[in-house]
Amino acid sequence: MKFPLRTLLAALAVGTGAAQAADLSSVKAEPAPASDDWYVTVSGTVNAGPSYPGSKGYSIFGYPSIRLRRVGEREIFSAPDDGFNFAFYNDGLFRAGVVGRLVGDRSVSDNAALRGLAYVPYSFEIGGFAEVSPVSWGRLRAEVRQAVTGHSGLAATIGGDVWQSWNRFTLSVGPRAYFGNDQYAKTYFSVTPTQAAVNNFLGGNLTPYAAAGGLTGAGGTVALRYQIDDNWRATGYGNYQRLSNSVGASPIANSAGDGSRNQWAYGLELSYRFRTTSPIIPGLF
């Protein structure tokens, strides 16, 4: 395991190596407020996930997060692998807005078996999300994100979650489907003939391969929250993604690249909530 600079930068990357500063919450109503007070939730998360898409090795990421909610407003459920989001519309049943995610970089230092491949910088993806919660214990969510740095491709995540609370515990679980266009697949999973020749010359085993976009993987996320007291809570979570189709067949995600089609990520979040009349960024979350 490594402790790279991405400790702060990877605040949005989990799933493929990268993880989001989400605040796992059960959906429940608060008593009507006596004033315009706000709840501010400050969190710190430690996540262990793949060093890059298709990696068998892991890196450890750490990141902070902050969430705001008016006292008396319903608390919105959020899964640990949600992208960082800003809702422009929320009527209780349907939410929509902008979403962002950060994917860590990929370099030869992550894996010597990748010698000869191009360095892929940190990728910041930005786009939109839509979410519907037809019941108080479940939701469906979709994110579509275009990378403006790094891989420069289009990526999407579609999934859902159900949750149940027992005393101080809340358990959530849900499936995920992951998509990427040709540019995304090419950046992380293709090997040109020249790259393969250089890799073989340097002792590697990569062969030429042209990856195509589409469904890139499927899996799920599970999380367990424990409400320590009225202000403190801890959340442990895990995410699994099985790379599929064209990207799953890439030598980068298999033994030739010392990679793996099985992508696991784990994390632990500790949150503290306090009440204030002066929120830092009113209405941001």
Name the residue ranges covered by the structural domains of the chain: 6-276
Provide the token pair at 245. 């189709």
- pLDDT tens-digit map of 9-54: 344 343 333 333 334 444 444 444 445 788 888 888 899 999 999 9
Token readout for 149 is 């740095």
Q: Which amino acid is at 108?
A: V
Give the three-class secondary structure for 94: strand
Chain-wide mean pLDDT for the chain? 86
Task: Say what the pTM is.
Answer: 0.83
Cα separation, 187 vs 120, in Å, equals 8
Please give the full DSSP string across 103-135, using - where no structure is assigned.
E--B-GGG-GGGTTSPPB--EEEEEEEEEEEEE
- Classify 6-276 by CATH class: mainly beta
Element (H, E) at 6: helix 6-9
User: What's the pLDDT tens digit per position in 225-279?
Assistant: 999 999 999 999 999 999 999 999 999 999 999 999 999 999 999 999 998 886 5
Would you state the torsion angle of the CA atoms of residues 103, 109, 111, 116, taken in this order, to the nearest 10 degrees? 100
Q: Pick from 134, 223, 219, 137: which is nearest to 173 by CA?
A: 223
DSSP symbol at 11: G
What single letter denotes the amino acid at residue 147?
A: A
- In which element (H, E) is residue 186 found? helix 182-189
Task: Return the ∠ at Cα 181 (arms to 113 and 95), rounded to 5°.
Answer: 120
The confidence score (pLDDT) of residue 9 equals 39
Cα–Cα distance for residue pair 132/142, rounded to 1 Å: 9
pLDDT, position 174: 98
Look at residues 130, 119, 125, 110 and name the one whose alpha carbon lies nearest to residue 56.
110
How do beta strands 94-103 and 214-227 pair? unpaired
Residue 65: both structure tokens together: 């997060």
- Supply the pLDDT for residue 27: 41
Rounded-to-integer distance, Cα 202 and Cα 115, Å: 7
Other CB atoms within 10 A of residue 8 CB: 10
pLDDT for 74:
80
pLDDT-derived band at 157, boundaries 50, 70, 90: very high
